[in-house]
Structure 1
């Protein structure tokens, strides 16, 4: 449970640091970034987490300076009580995260079940993505969903009232979503948002992520449009009503988003070279990972099980207090290895007892190099 709690904290800090940097970049350089570049920035969040988890030793090796342990204050019962409390907190937190994620999944399955009962409508459009077009009478969509078997959901009102040309534009927009695997990214974003549900920045960032996703999709659709075609596309957006779309689906019809999308279409420039977007995202990954590593260097290892050191008889008789400071590594089970005495005071008074005790301890951290801990010997 301690390892799980540690992992949750790491993901929280990574999401917080990455999202904060993205928001700062968007605020300072929004007008200078292409829609593709702005959207690419969000990809750096899961990539940063992946890099951090795949290379734990290189990124997590750090020196820790924990709260010093007093023999007369901290005992095994206190450690166990603390561990039990944190186990309850972590379990409660994960239950809420799972409930939030499952709620969205169930909503999506409900839509899929509803749509499967309706007639399929085929259109004469370039269907290289092999999208199965379904029609909803509940004003849901348009949206593409399904991670393995893609489905394109259209409200019945669009089929009844829109021209063939308008429908072609809508279908092309949704095709781009699938070709870029946006449903997968939406699912991943929703998972991270659910996991970080206590963090308001995670909710706000997910909303901006989906907004940038739609604007980037517009840019891809309109990349080869002339001025008249862009105007027709903007007119199509204006005609949209606010349909209902779960978080796992791309949101086409939010009024505020539609206004922003139209403004971006008016100022849209063709962007043929997307290398800058990839370089920007990769650079951001490096910055965010480094920043989190530096912030995490002062993390303290917590002893899960301890063996009380015996107080030396001579020191007890002469009312001598002191401490022994250790450096050690932690193996895959949290056991200290390569234990060395860095400093002790008074010299050679408490060294043997402290060494015998700490060699039997177990810590919450695992696979850590160069950890430090100080064991104090104090009289009541």
Structure 2
């Protein structure tokens, strides 16, 4: 599981690093709108990587023709047992971390629901708002809350602002809603829960949320005069001290990028929707093509070596301790079926020597193997597991086992 996630995270992590390192350049060259839009390339690249790994095997009609011998070395098997235990611990740690983050998400959803229920609608006669505006004593910075029934929550001090400032804040939060930013935040957070062990995912998530606010600022201030921008900046300054970043709401004030937001108001860039869409689609396709090329390379290498198809996950059998202590070596020939999804079933022993010594461990391990998905799967495939105390000498010829088609 972890190895699969690490493999999937490789290309998106590289793209995150590029975005983070070149962020200032991107912001100055293409503007806040386009910089924010480029973040969609991360999930598209991830999706492309997933499709690139799974679609080619699913549409491939090539049968699994030849399967290998696999050696089980006594010393290696003991080492693999320790490694397997470590892997199980790592998977448990990853699962606990993801579960904690999901629990935090539900906890915040409950708190926000309670906050909205206890808030009060305020009358704003000079402000045009298509979304309800409510206030609560515990709110210190404006925020948009809710996917289905959105609400703009504002602090009590909101009533003291000039109507133009109130309108700008409401427009800011309404633009969040029109752009489905809360849904985007939720999706981004769920990606972080999968890859929480990667520091780049947290840095990218933070930068993504900040770019979201910059893009809204650019939308609201594009038609403002200089005095209006100054008033808007003063509002940002007033609300930036208490803002908190949440997964299910926006954060209008943000003191960490306050200077950056004010500086961006002096620059106006157009939206290049087609260019950004083309770039992000290219990123998604590149993930699929890179993994497709890797899969093709693996098949080509296997064809050259005539070693057959390797399982994508192979559990090493445990070398029986008594057999190792007694210096006993042997082999087990097994027959099994491979489903279309690559799962192993109906494992049975064809022949073993010494009889019954390694059979149970061989069956137990093979039942956990996983092969690449295929269009037809395979029935009555065969493999031989050689149990050895030490690796064989190089001059010994390796015998292949052919599976029945």
Q: TM-score, normalised by structure 1?
A: 0.72
User: Does structure 1 residue 48 correspond to structure 2 residue 57?
Assistant: no
Q: Cα offset for 1:168?
A: 0.9
Which residue does the alignment assign to 2:107?
106
User: Does structure 1 residue 143 correspond to structure 2 residue 138?
Assistant: no
In structure 2, C-alpha distance between the alignment counterparts of 1:272 and 1:9, rounded to whole Å: 34
Which residue does the alignment assign to 2:92?
91
Q: Cα offset for 1:273?
A: 4.0
In structure 2, C-alpha distance between the alignment counterparts of 1:295 and 1:211, rounded to whole Å: 35
Q: Deviations over 1:171-212 (max 9, x none)?
A: 000000010000011111111222222211111111110111
Do 1:305 and 1:362's aligned partners in 2 also have CA atoms closer than 8 Å?
no
In structure 2, C-alpha distance between the alignment counterparts of 1:15 and 1:273, rounded to whole Å: 23
In structure 2, C-alpha distance between the alignment counterparts of 1:255 and 1:28, rounded to whole Å: 21
Aligned to 2:144, the other structure's residue is in SS state: strand
In structure 2, C-alpha distance between the alignment counterparts of 1:153 and 1:216, rounded to whole Å: 20
Structure 1, gaps ≥5 residues long: 63-67, 309-328, 337-356
Q: Cα offset for 1:72?
A: 3.3
Which of residues 356, 364, 371 in structure 1 aligns to 2:370?
364
Aligned to 1:109, the other structure's residue is in SS state: helix
Aligned to 1:70, the other structure's residue is in SS state: strand
In structure 2, C-alpha distance between the alignment counterparts of 1:232 and 1:239, rounded to whole Å: 11
Q: Cα offset for 1:251?
A: 2.1
User: Does structure 1 residue 154 correspond to structure 2 residue 163?
Assistant: no
Which residue does the alignment assign to 1:303?
314
Q: 1:101 to 1:361 in 2, by over 3 A?
A: closer
Which residue does the alignment assign to 1:224?
223
Q: How many residues of Structure 1 are paired with residues of Structure 2 in the alignment?
A: 333
Q: TM-score, normalised by structure 2?
A: 0.68
In structure 1, C-alpha distance between the alignment counterparts of 2:23 and 2:236, rounded to whole Å: 24
Which residue does the alignment assign to 2:186?
187
In structure 2, C-alpha distance between the alignment counterparts of 1:167 and 1:60, rounded to whole Å: 56
Do 2:16 and 2:42's aligned partners in 1 also have CA atoms closer than 8 Å?
yes
Q: Cα offset for 1:36?
A: 1.4
Of residues 177-186 and 245-254 in structure 1, the stretch that sits farther from structure 2 once superposed is 245-254
In structure 1, C-alpha distance between the alignment counterparts of 2:276 and 2:128, rounded to whole Å: 28
CA RMSD of aligned residues (A): 4.2
Which residue does the alignment assign to 1:267?
267
Structure 2, gaps ≥5 residues long: 61-68, 299-309, 320-337, 346-361, 376-382, 391-405
Q: Cα offset for 1:102?
A: 2.0
Q: Cα offset for 1:233?
A: 2.6
Which residue does the alignment assign to 1:203?
202
Q: Cα offset for 1:285?
A: 2.7
Do 1:302 and 1:365's aligned partners in 2 also have CA atoms closer than 8 Å?
yes
User: Does structure 1 residue 116 correspond to structure 2 residue 117?
Assistant: yes
Q: Cα offset for 1:153?
A: 1.0
Which residue does the alignment assign to 1:334?
343
Q: Deviations over 1:257-284 (max 9, x none)?
A: 1211110011223x15422222222223
Q: Cα offset for 1:52?
A: 3.5
Q: Cα offset for 1:252?
A: 1.8
Q: 1:333 to 1:365 in 2, by over 3 A?
A: closer
Which residue does the alignment assign to 1:126?
128
Q: Cα offset for 1:141?
A: 2.8
Which residue does the alignment assign to 1:33?
30
Q: Deviations over 1:341-373 (max 9, x none)?
A: xxxxxxxxxxxxxxxx99x6652354179xxx9
Q: Deviations over 1:314-346 (max 9, x none)?
A: xxxxxxxxxxxxxxx98413349xxxxxxxxxx
Q: 1:114 to 1:202 in 2, by over 3 A?
A: same
Aligned to 1:252, the other structure's residue is in SS state: coil
Do 1:241 and 1:253's aligned partners in 2 also have CA atoms closer than 8 Å?
yes
Alignment of 1:241-256 (within 5 A): 241-248=240-247, 249-256=249-256
In structure 2, C-alpha distance between the alignment counterparts of 1:200 and 1:377, rounded to whole Å: 42
Which residue does the alignment assign to 1:326?
none
Which residue does the alignment assign to 2:13?
16
Aligned to 1:224, the other structure's residue is in SS state: coil
Of residues 201-210 and 190-199 in structure 1, the stretch that sits farther from structure 2 once superposed is 190-199
Do 2:144 and 2:173's aligned partners in 1 also have CA atoms closer than 8 Å?
yes
Q: Cα offset for 1:223?
A: 2.8
Aligned to 2:120, the other structure's residue is in SS state: coil
